[in-house]
Amino acid sequence: MTPAASANTREQLLALAQKLIRTRGYHGFSYRDLAEMVGVKTSSIHYHFPGKDDLLFGALQDYARRAVSAVQAIDATLPADARLDRYIGLMESTDCASGELCMGGMLAADVLSLPEPARAELESFFRKHEAWLAGVLRDGAAQGRLRFAGTPEAAARAAFATVQGCLLVARLFKVPPGIRQALAGLYAVDGAGVAAGQPADAPA
C-alpha cells in the first residue's frame, strides 16, 4: 500500500467511524461493521488503529479539531447576536439534522465507559465551545444585543447544553432542532436577532 493510499484509507476510517458513533454510539458498532463499510479487512483497521480506543481517540480528535475550527472561523467583527446566529447555523447543519447527533453530545452519554484520553478530549471539546459562547455572550451584553442571567461562563454552559438537548430531542421526534427558538427565548434581546437570523436592533 502506497503512503497516499494508506492516508486515504485512514481518512475513510475516521470519517465512517465518526458517522457510526454519531448514529449508533461508541458501543454500537464493531471493527467488522467498519471494515464492511470501507471495503477492507479488519486487519487493515488494526494497522491504523490497533484498538477501538485508538480509533475513538483519533475520530474524536479529528472531529473536534474541524468543529472547533469552524466555530472559531466565524467573523469576530460581526455583532454578537449575528455571531450567535452563525453558530446556530453550524449546529443545525445538514449532518446534525439528518439523524446524526453532535459527536460530543453522543459520547457524553457514554462518558463513564470511555477511556481516559477520550474523556479528556471530550471535555476539551465542550470547554472550547463554552469559552467561545461565553465571549459572544459577554460581547452581546456589552452591546445591548444579548441578555442572560449570571456570569457569561455559566450562561455559555447552559447555552451549549441547550444546543445538545435540542439536537437530541430533534432526532427522537424527527423534527428540526429548533435551536434558534430555544436560544432566542433565553438570550436574544426581544428575540429578534437569533430567532429570525438577523441582527437585533439595539435598545434605545
Structure confidence by residue, pLDDT tens digits, 106-140: 999 999 999 999 999 999 999 999 999 999 999 99
Give tens-digit pLDDT for 138-188.
999 999 999 999 999 999 999 999 999 999 999 999 888 899 999 988 887
Is the model more confident about 45 or about 186? 45
Tell me the CA distances in angstroms from 192 to 27, 85, 166, 185, 188, one per residue in order. 41, 11, 20, 10, 7
CA 192 to chain centroid, in Å, comes to 25
Residue whose C-alpha cell reads 461508541 in the numeric block: 26
pLDDT of residue 51: 97
pTM across the whole model: 0.88
Whether 23 has a pLDDT exceeding 70, the answer reads yes
pLDDT of residue 65: 97
Eight-class DSSP state of 41: -
CATH of range 60-196; options 1.10.357.10, 3.40.50.300, 3.60.20.10, 3.30.565.10:
1.10.357.10
Nearest alpha carbon to residue 126 among 73, 99, 163: 163
